[in-house]
Chains A and B, each alone.
Chain A
Amino acid sequence: MNRIHKIFLYALLISTAAITLSPIVWMLSVSLMPAGASSTYPPPFLPDDVTLEHYENLFTRLNLARYLLNSTVIAVGVTLLSLLINSMAGYAFAKYRFRGRDKLFRLLLAGLVIPAQVTMLPLFLMLNKMGFINTYVGVMIPGMASVFGIFLMRQYMLSIPDSLIDAARIDGAGDFMVYWRLVIPLCKPIFVTLAIFTFMGTWNDFLWPLIVMTDDSMYTLPVALANLMGEHAQDTELMMAGSVLTILPVMLVFMVLQKYYIQGIMMGSVKG
């Protein structure tokens, strides 16, 4: 009985995994086929001839290196800035006593139900006034601080014993010194977690860069890919290659650091 049960479970698990992964594998496989090869019936799952021509085309004719650069600059920039700002805010919420602190924190959490789209219109106008439309800064601004990031940092920093901070103070360390030399090193794991979340979230983001980047040369990869879809919808293999290149960097980051990512979700959900 248990044995049959077990075989059944594994069959279910493996077939689910196969269905889950097949679009990704198919994407990779079609991206290596010669142009037009996938538009046959029955649809081929594996390429007969392997070619890298679409990847080559993307870089030589379609300016992909530029989009890759844009995406990288923006994602890395937002990640670094958000680590700095969220950790400072989280530290303030966790360790400083100021009037209305807990109220303010609850207000922030309540802000989670406000969809980002509500803020996009005024933010756009604000950036337009300041001349930040179509710049890296413009795309990066809303991502610099996040409720989720502050929450994650605060929860983690609550576990730092006050006595440790007091001891450092007695030794004559100023506020910034305590934060920089004591708090940050103690919070390394949560820094890694937030860094992955922010990097991947920014890399994958679509609506905001679509709004802010008006010039083709400033597009991020997802925006460029969506744009490419308009002109090259018939070039299945080329579009697949573009998709592969867009996904690849986040996938690599995730595979290397997945432990921290999954921990982050669990932390966020336990006291969410």
Chain B
Amino acid sequence: MITVFFFFPVVAALFMSFTDFDIYGLSDIGFVRFIGLSNYADLLNDPLFWTALKNTFYFVLVGGPLSIAVSLGAALLINSRLVRFKSFFRLMYFVPVVATLVSVAVVWRYIYHPRFGLLNFALDKIGIEPIDWLGDPVWAMPAIILLAVWKNFGFNMIIFIAGLQNIPEELYEAARIDGANAVSQFKSITLPMLAPTMLFVGIITMIGYFQLFAEPYVMTQGGPVNSTLSIVLYMYQEGFRWWNMGYSASLAFVLFLIIFIGTLIQLRVQKRGYEG
């Protein structure tokens, strides 16, 4: 089952990426020609590909760590010994995770409205000039990152809470007796003990963030001036709007390769962390 619907398509996708499969191929497979690595060569000369790549990396490298940091912060807050109603707060923070992405993208489009949006209203209160969040190429990606962090932090937070609860309380007690303050406790106990959790969170967050699609599709259509065009959005446009499916498949494979390498790097860094 899985083999048919999962691994077979992967091989087929690789094969497609070596062909000029397009709308004619869709009507009659006889039109499809094998063109070797041409699609990949075209990618290298395609400015839109480089833009999409740059934007996607921007989103992953800024949005990913930010979202993990917020998740960890929220987990630490909720896990504090002084706090009660833990499950209530946990539930509240989790609500955006469950909400349909397309819906919240629609809602945030209005939150970012330059004149009537809540965000500019709030910024105005503290004396910041209105920003055209989704209309300004400089601000469109940060706006999408902010939405993503809000939407996703609850998920990793749950995983961090589970990780924090696995750290033996005695370690902290021993540290307190030695006179370690909260910051050094965090640095020398919490962070190292969380390392496996951090690796897991890092990898799933990276994989998820590389697949950025619905937010720009709904909020900006990739604009303004392609500042939010992501790899998957570009792949969708090439493959399912213009039916350049061979070219689109090569994009998909580049994405796969990047995710694969990113995972390997994280595993490697983690391992070195253990040894060092």
On A, residues with C-beta under 8 Å from B are 2, 5-6, 9-10, 12-13, 16-17, 20-24, 26-27, 30, 38-43, 45, 85, 89, 108, 111-126, 128, 141-142, 144-145, 147, 150, 200, 203-204, 206-207, 210-211, 221-223, 225-226, 229, 233, 236, 239-240, 242-244, 246-247, 250-251, 254, 258, 262, 265-266, 269-270, 272
Q: Which residues of A contact B163 (CB under 8 A)?
A: 269
A246 CA to B98 CA, complexed, in Å: 12
Task: Select which of A117, A122, A240, A250 is within 8 A of B12 by beta carbon.
Answer: A122
Closest to B166 in A: A270
> How far is A236 from B93 in the complex, measured between Cα atoms in Å?
26
Distance in Å: Cβ of A91 to nearest Cβ of chain B: 14
Which chain B residue has the least Cβ–Cβ distance from A222?
A: B102
Instruction: Say whether, besides A23-B150, A113-B263, A236 and B110 are in contact (CB < 8 Å).
Output: yes
Interface with A: B43-51, B170-178, B207-215, which one?
Answer: B207-215
A122 touches B13 (CB 8 A): yes
- Which chain B residues numbered 138 to 181 have a C-beta less than 8 Å away from chain A? 150, 154-155, 158-159, 162-163
Q: Provide the bound-state CA to CA distance between A121 and B101, in Å.
A: 23
Determine whether the beta carbon of B253 is less than 8 Å from that of A118.
yes
Does A16 contact B100, Cβ atoms closer than 8 Å? no
Q: How far is the CA of A254 from the CA of B248 in the complex (A)?
A: 36
Among B2, B9, B74, B99, the residue within 8 A (CB) of A247 is B99
CA distance A254 to B158 in the complex (A): 15
- Give the secondary structure class of B's interface: helix
Interchain CB contact (< 8 A) of A121 among B94, B204, B249: B249
Alpha-carbon gap, A243 to B5, bound state (A): 32
Beta-carbon contacts under 8 Å, B90-104 to A? 90-96, 98-104
Query: Quick check: B77 and A85 within 8 Å, CB to CB?
Result: no
Q: List 17 extra interface pairs beyond A39-B115, A243-B106, CB under 8 A.
A: A9-B80, A21-B95, A24-B96, A43-B116, A113-B260, A115-B207, A115-B252, A115-B256, A117-B252, A118-B10, A119-B6, A211-B240, A225-B103, A225-B106, A233-B109, A240-B107, A272-B204
Q: Which A residues lie within 8 Å of B239 (CB)?
A: 120-121
Asked if residues B260 and A229 are in contact (CB atoms below 8 Å), the reply is no
Residue contact B210 to A115, C-beta cutoff 8 Å: yes
Chain B residues near A24 (CB, 8 Å)? 95-96, 99, 107
Q: Could you list 30 A-B pairs, sorted by A, with CB under 8 Å?
A: A2-B82, A9-B80, A9-B82, A13-B77, A17-B92, A23-B107, A23-B108, A24-B95, A24-B96, A24-B99, A26-B111, A39-B115, A41-B115, A114-B256, A115-B255, A118-B13, A121-B245, A122-B8, A122-B9, A145-B5, A204-B100, A204-B102, A243-B106, A243-B107, A247-B99, A251-B98, A251-B99, A258-B94, A265-B158, A269-B197
Chain A residue with minimal CB distance to B204?
Answer: A272
**Are A126 and B9 in contact, CB atoms less than 8 angstroms apart?**
yes
Check if B117 sits within 8 Å of A43, measured CB to CB.
Answer: yes
A-B residue pairs, 10 tightest by C-beta: A122-B12, A119-B9, A243-B103, A222-B102, A122-B9, A269-B159, A17-B92, A254-B98, A118-B252, A204-B100
| Interchain CB contact under 8 A, B248 and A272 | no
Instruction: State whether A119 and B159 are in contact (beta carbons under 8 Å apart), knowing that A6-B82, A13-B77 are contacts in the complex.
Output: no
Q: Could you tell me the distance between the alpha carbons of A89 and B1 in the complex, rounded to whole angstroms?
A: 9
Contact of A119 among B13, B74, B96, B155 (CB under 8 A): B13
Counting chain A CB atoms within 10 Å of each CB, which of B16, B74, B103, B106 scores highest? B103
Q: Which residues of B contact A20 (CB under 8 A)?
A: 92-93, 95-96, 150, 154
The reply to whether B158 and A266 contact each other, CB–CB distance below 8 Å, is yes
Max count, chain A CB within 10 A of own CB: residue among B9, B13, B95, B115: B9
